[in-house]
Every structure is written in structure tokens, then in C-alpha cells.
Amino acid sequence: MSRESGKNGRAAEAVLPFRIHESVSIDGNRLTLPLSWSEEVELLYFKSGRFRVMVELSEYEISEECICFVNPGELRRVSALSEGAVEYSVRFRLDCLLFQQEDITETALLRPLAAGKLSFPRFIGVSDLGNAEILCWTTALLQRFRRLGERCPSIRSSERLVLRSASDSLLLKAELLRLIGLLDSYGLLREARQRTADRQVQVIKQTVLHIRENYQRRIYVRDLAALVGLNGHYFIHFFKRVMGVPPLEYINRFRVQQAKRELTESRDRAYEVAARCGFHNIGNFIRVFRAVTGMTPNRFRDYCAESMHPRDARGQTGE
């Protein structure tokens, strides 16, 4: 029975903004998350393997089990470096944990966190106080999600786990509140440092925002450089060093991500999706899409349909 109805829990009016991604890098499909940011808290749990992580332009290499927190508004990039590397990402909005009636937990912890006056620790490793209990909490949370959540294909090395019933989401909300209590009890929450407007961070954010807002139009690298007041050659070099790819490749990859969403959410023809996503030539769209995803747009659409409804896609019926 679906967890959206019946005795297993009342259906949620809308999926609560808690998301978990599970990634296992196998058969050459290694996790790569481009540099980005959001207004959510992200808990990255590196279970095994080696990873390279960039947060706010500071790079770290991970080779042992640990947890990394990315606070709202911080830039982050993640890439797996080894075969079999296992990683989980938990993302949630702090304002969804607030209560209507204020109490000491709100005034001392939740509201300061939501306002950016308190922040989460960057890493929790084997040498940190409370590590064992917090890792135990993380494992229990992930087991709950894997047992109750619906699996949705995300990228080739990753799956998204979604809770759709109100009761399951309420249990997760309680677990996240427990995590904040654990972190504070071990003295791991800290007063947020005054964040200066780092010029390099602002250049990246301004550039990426411009791409996100204008990807449907023609975007020229020279215009991006002028937007942030940098020499064209220096801008290309700086962007590639921080983002891992040149500006044009980043633009194309972002357009492909939007096209993937449209291909799974609509039945529009590939050339219509291409035009809406900033590709003005269908041949170029197919070439770039295949380079990024390893398959053509139509094959990707079929692959997603087979993943979501395997029996229907094969034309099979029966119980």
C-alpha cells in the first residue's frame, strides 16, 4: 500500500522540505556536485571512501567517516575520488522547525540558527566530542528514510529519497530537532562569525545567479566578465579554478539540468525543450546533452519512465 494514504499515515498536503540523497560511486559513475549554494542547511555524511569538498572556496580532502555541515548561503562543491565511495546528503530549512508558540528552545537555539546568529560546526570527525552519538543518530535517520522513503532517480550515481506522508515527515522533523539538541549539548553549535563580503565568493555568486536567471537567452562569456568587472582571460581562469569547469561548459551543464527536468515533467518534443533551455540548435542540444548525461534526450526520457514504472515501461501487467 502507498504510504500516502490508508493506515500507514495521512497524506501530506505537500512534501515537506526535507530531502535526502544517497550516493554510491560505482562502475566509474562517481558523484560530482557542482559548486552551488542554497538557503537550506545541508548535512553531508561521508560514510566511506575518499572525497574532495569545497566550502566557501576552502578545500578539504575526506578519507575517513565524518559529517560536514554547510550553513545556509555557503558555497559548496563535492566530488568522489574513489570507487565505492558512499555519501548521504540531508537538506532542510530551519524555519520549518520553528513553533507557533515561542519557548526557550526557540529563543536560545532555533531562532538564532534561523537568523544566522548561531551556526553548525564545519566537520564532526572521530576525534570530536559526541561523534559516536551523532553518527548513531545519523545512521538511524538514514535507515528510517531508506525503509519508508520513495526512491527517485536523481543523477547516475545518486538516488533521492522522499517521504510523502505527514506522519513520516513529522518523525523526521522530531529527529532534526533532536540533532540540534545533541549538537548544543556537546557545545558544537557556535556563534556565527561576521561574514565579510569576500570578493571572490561574490563574483561566483553574481555570475551563477546571472546564468540561472538568463539561461534561456544567449549568454556570452565576455558579458559575464564585464558583469563582475574582471578581465576576460582572468575571469575564465578564475571561474574554472573555482567551479571546476570553464564558464561555457557550466552554462551548458546548467541548461542540460533544466532540460532533464522538463523532459521528465512534460511530453513536449525535444526541440521544444531545447529552445526553452537556451539551445538554439537541436543538433547542438543533442550533442551537449549526450556529453553530459551519456544518453540522448529521448533515451533519457525513456530511462526515467522505466525507472519510475518498470513494469509499465516493459508492457507487463499482472500482480
Residue 298 has pLDDT above 90, yes or no: yes
- pLDDT of res. 151: 65
Query: Over 90: is that where the pLDDT of 311 sits?
Result: no
SS3 275: helix
Chain mean position to CA 23: 11
Burial environment of residue 186 by CB neighbours within 10 A (0 to 12, 13 to 18, 19 or more): middle
Q: How far apart are CA 162 and CA 171, in angstroms?
A: 13
pLDDT at 314 over 50: no
Q: How far is CA 234 from CA 50, 212, 247, 319, in A?
A: 31, 22, 12, 61
Helix 247-265 and helix 297-308, axial crossing angle in degrees, nearest 10: 50
pLDDT band at 304 (very low <50, low <70, confident <90, very high): confident
**Does the pLDDT value for residue 45 go beyond 80?**
yes
With cut-offs at 50, 70 and 90, classify the pLDDT of residue 57. confident
Q: Is pLDDT of 232 > 50?
A: yes
Question: Taking 70 as the threshold, does the pLDDT of residue 276 lie above it?
Answer: yes
Phi, psi (degrees; rounded to nearest 5) at 275: -65, -40
* Percent share of the chain, pLDDT over 70: 84
Q: What is the mean pLDDT of residues 25-39?
A: 82
**Could you tell me if 205 and 211 are in contact, meaning their C-beta atoms sit under 8 angstroms apart?**
no
Given a contact cutoff of 8 angstroms between Cβ atoms, the answer to whether 291 and 253 are in contact is no
Where does the pLDDT of residue 156 fall: very low under 50, low under 70, confident under 90, or very high at 90 and above?
low
> What pLDDT sits at residue 50?
95
Whether residue 61 contacts residue 125, with contact meaning beta carbons closer than 8 Å, is answered with: no
Q: Which residues pair with 48 in a beta bridge?
A: 86
In tens, the pLDDT along 112-138 reads 999 989 999 999 988 888 899 999 988
User: Which domains, and CATH codes, for the chain?
Assistant: 16-191 (2.60.120.10), 199-307 (1.10.10.60)
Q: What average pLDDT is seen over the chain? A: 84
**pLDDT average, residue stretch 236-243:** 91
At 101, is the pLDDT very low, low, confident or very high (cuts 50, 70, 90)?
confident
Cell representation of residue 218: 544567449
pLDDT at position 6, please? 35
Q: How far is CA 279 from CA 26, 207, 264, in A?
A: 31, 19, 18
Residue whose C-alpha is closest to residue 159's, from 23, 26, 17, 304: 23
